[in-house]
Structure 1
Amino acid sequence: MEISLPPKEEQKRIAQKLDALLDRVDTLKSRIDAIPTLLKRFRQSILAAAVAGSLSEDWRNAHGDAIDGRKLHDLLRALHEKAGGHARGNASDPSDEAHDLSRDDMPPQWDIAVLRDICEPGRPITYGILKPGPELEHGIPYIRVADFPGNKLRLEGIKKTSEEIDQLFKRARLRAGDLLLSIRGSVGRLIKIPAELEGANITQDTARLSISPTVSTDYVYWALLAESTQRRMRAATRGVAVRGINIGDVRALQIPLPSRDEQDEIVRRVEQLFAFADQLEAKVAIAKQRIDTLTQSILAKAFRGELVPQDPNDEPASMLLERIRAQRVAAPKPRRGRKPISST
């Protein structure tokens, strides 16, 4: 193998330059690696401001006290009463200590609504199929918690069950625009159902949320992802081997409720800020790829002799090699002694 050898003094300059540049690359890497955590905090701070009312405070001040979430809450309850009220079912009672949202945590024009009141009458919060049976090539698709890691739906992993099993759990069938919340294992994951899964079903590890048309589904989506709501879900989670939140606690989850107009404004602002964060995240990913190749680029430049200027006053590398060869020739060769013969 042949290696290009620069003069000794140039080697020293290359080593010094490499140390300085690679230190800067390491510093840059550490700063870039910290940005995803900062963006996660940024997104959570947006959602915290959204559900506390501070994100839309200027909008609310401009529209006066006529914008009142309490009136919307009264309307939602009236719609449920007209439809016959909430069925008790066999759900466990909610854990009162977990649902600790206070009116002090929101503007006076807002109200505290429980999730079951926000859902559409006739489509209550429910879980789905207990045992989907063997996977089928053709059948009714059903969504598992594993199908939406990180709140992102992966359509390629969707499995199918039989029409007979789907019929047994027809109460849990999905419509486009429904929300799906994970309630066992990884509690708190959330997705919005796309049009291509209209009529699909769900498993017992998820809960379907069909939001009332009088409420913004997107607002409820963001409110459920806010850390304050996620904390209340964690507080209501029970179990040892498989941890989960019972359907009674899901129905009792508290949502800060502004007027519909303010909900729409909050959604607009959240999505605008999240889009900015997404753009920054994409730029960071590109920058990280470039930084990952920067070290090899610097080393390649060093070995091509392009990293530092060459000095004609440096002793040529050929003279250095000649001196090394002469030292090796002059060095005494080690004597090889005979191995002593062992006597037995």
Structure 2
Amino acid sequence: MSKTELPPGWGSVRLEEIAEVRLGRQRSPKNHTGEQMRPYLRAANVDWSGLKLDDVKEMNFTDAEVETYRLLPGDIVLGEASGSPREVGKPGLWNGQIDDCCFQNTLIRVRPEPGIDPHYLLLVLRYEALSGSFARGARGVGIHHLGSAKLASWPIPLPPLAEQRRIVEALDGLISRLDAAEESINRSVKRSGHAWGSVLNSVARGDLNGRSVQADLRLVSEVAEVSGGIQKQQKRRPVENSFPFLRVANVARGRMQLDDIHQIELFAGELERHRLECGDLLVVEGNGSPDQIGRAATWRGEVEDVVHQNHLIRVRPGGEILPRYLELVWNSPLVVDQLREVARSTSGLYTLSTAKVKSVRIPVPSLSDQNALVEDADVWETSVDVAQGALQGARARSRLLRQSALRRAFAGSLVSQDPADEPASAILEMIRSGREGNGRRRSSHPRRKRTAGTSADIPPAPSSVIAPIPSNAIQQEFEL
């Protein structure tokens, strides 16, 4: 949390001053079986939409270990590490859903002290995770580790307890309205995508804008040249004769993504044999998702002397078919269904080959009819792009409003202060006294009468603040 001037009655504290911060128990083969098997949470159980408890594993915990690693209602668990920066420190609130549930060392447990509303602290930690602060503070290459020590020293804005609850209540109304707006935006984005799919199908059927175009179904091999690409190998590290090299990541459905083009070493005659020409259609050979199989985009000569990898199949249209028409028809749901069928394998994977691509049948009307369909489709595409741009703008405004509300909340400007509230300094003094009375120097949790599986001593949270948040709406909230 960035340093700002806090209101009277507030304090800026390290997390360990107001909560016990503990790393979970390491998983070991010797604990895979035993007489005291207990459920435990791991990083896979924590999602932006809430805790996912449909797949909770078990391992052996002794009674003493359960006392150390048991989760109690009001505990917050955070992902300790992730290969994706946006996932580092992702938090979830435990409400005692499973008796005697413990946690693994892929999670860090934050147990708030008395005087700290768990719902308020969850919102602060969620904000830090989504804003990327935890990722920036993490260590490691490839795998980003937050670490319990780093988290324990994290600065936390601390208002009086009564104001913590007012902030949670106020954010409930704001966030619930933003969530509703974003759900509406997401539905509209899906509708615009479906509308464009309908346009593509109309091109393939020849009935766009009420036309009645006659077309012959032709094998791709009859109207285009199909060829593979270059396999990336150690000997092809760019040294003396390197050229731009397109990969699967560069090909989206209907558009090229050229912000990250790699280089590859070519040998005698390879550039002439593999160089892309304007109008070539690049088809993705395989993808784990059936919806993405065979996605394709037309090369328009944006970069000179470009070749492509062997996981892309080049379809070079002949004189009977226009490149833009081929791209539109190829990405239509009607042809995608056909691609999915020919790509299906007995192993459940979806993979295309040059032979399979050659066997695909596409409608081929006259060139004049192709040109008319392309012109109509381009007008529709402009309209869809305008609509989607407006939706993206609305989504960005919602993101900024959410950021603004959270920043204001944790700077003390979202709700008014009440001079009668017990100040944060009194909360800290109570926590310190409780720890000293129990003989603890650091943030260890005081003994409270709290039964696992209940949440009687946790004030209820407003529904939309702590309840599951749609993952497709929240994960990008802080990516500006």
Sort the TM-score into its range (normalised by shorter chain): 0.5 to 0.7
SS at match of 1:284: helix
Matches within 5 A, 1:134-283: 134-137=236-239, 138-150=241-253, 151-154=255-258, 156-164=260-268, 166=270, 170-185=272-287, 187-239=293-345, 240=347, 243-283=350-390
- How has the CA–CA distance of structure 1 residues 17 and 180 changed in structure 2, closer, same or farther, with 3 Å as cutoff? closer
How far is 1:53 from its partner?
2.1
How far is 1:243 from its partner?
4.3
How far is 1:134 from its partner?
2.5
Decide which structure has the larger Cα Rg and report it: 1
Residue in 2 that maps onto 1:288: 395
2:227 paired with 1:126: yes
The size of the alignment, in residue pairs, is: 262
Instruction: Tell me how far apart the structure 1 counterparts of residues 299 and 203 of structure 2 sit (CA, whole Å).
Output: 23
- How has the CA–CA distance of structure 1 residues 232 and 297 changed in structure 2, closer, same or farther, with 3 Å as cutoff? same
Q: Is the Cα–Cα contact under 8 Å of residues 223 and 321 in structure 2 kept in the other structure?
A: yes
How far is 1:232 from its partner?
0.9
TM-score, length-scaled by structure 2: 0.46
What are the Cα deviations for residues 184-223 of structure 1, in whole angstroms up to 9, with x where unaligned?
3463121212324454333322222221234221011100
Deviating more after overlay: 264-273 vs 49-58:
49-58
Query: Which of 176, 190, 203 is matched with 1:23 structurally?
Result: 176
Instruction: Tell me how far apart the structure 2 counterparts of residues 235 and 321 of structure 1 sit (CA, whole Å).
Output: 66
How far is 1:42 from its partner?
1.5
- How has the CA–CA distance of structure 1 residues 211 and 291 changed in structure 2, closer, same or farther, with 3 Å as cutoff? same
Residue in 2 that maps onto 1:94: none
What are the Cα deviations for residues 281-315 of structure 1, in whole angstroms up to 9, with x where unaligned?
222222112112324545749965899xxxxxxxx
Instruction: Tell me how far apart the structure 1 counterparts of residues 421 and 276 of structure 2 sit (CA, whole Å).
Output: 78
Instruction: Tell me how far apart the structure 2 counterparts of residues 34 and 22 of structure 1 sit (CA, whole Å).
Output: 18
Q: Is the Cα–Cα contact under 8 Å of residues 340 and 350 in structure 2 kept in the other structure?
A: no
Instruction: Tell me how far apart the structure 2 counterparts of residues 37 and 229 of structure 1 sit (CA, whole Å).
Output: 20
Instruction: Tell me how far apart the structure 2 counterparts of residues 3 and 22 of structure 1 sit (CA, whole Å).
Output: 26
Instruction: Tell me how far apart the structure 2 counterparts of residues 13 and 182 of structure 1 sit (CA, whole Å).
Output: 52
How far is 1:163 from its partner?
2.5
SS at match of 2:260: helix
What are the Cα deviations for residues 67-110 of structure 1, in whole angstroms up to 9, with x where unaligned?
xxxxxxxxxxxxxxxxxxxxxxxxxxxxxxxxxxxxxxxx6x22
Query: Which of 213, 216, 232 is matched with 1:111 structurally?
Result: 216
Residue in 2 that maps onto 1:84: none
Amino acid paired to 2:334: S
Ranked by relative contact order (alpha carbons within 8 Å, sequence separation 6 or more), the top structure is 1
SS at match of 1:255: strand
How far is 1:272 from its partner?
1.5
Q: Is the Cα–Cα contact under 8 Å of residues 172 and 208 in structure 1 kept in the other structure?
A: no
Give unmatched runs, 5+ long, in structure 2: 1-5, 11-158, 423-436, 438-480
Residue in 2 that maps onto 1:92: none
- How has the CA–CA distance of structure 1 residues 252 and 293 changed in structure 2, closer, same or farther, with 3 Å as cutoff? same
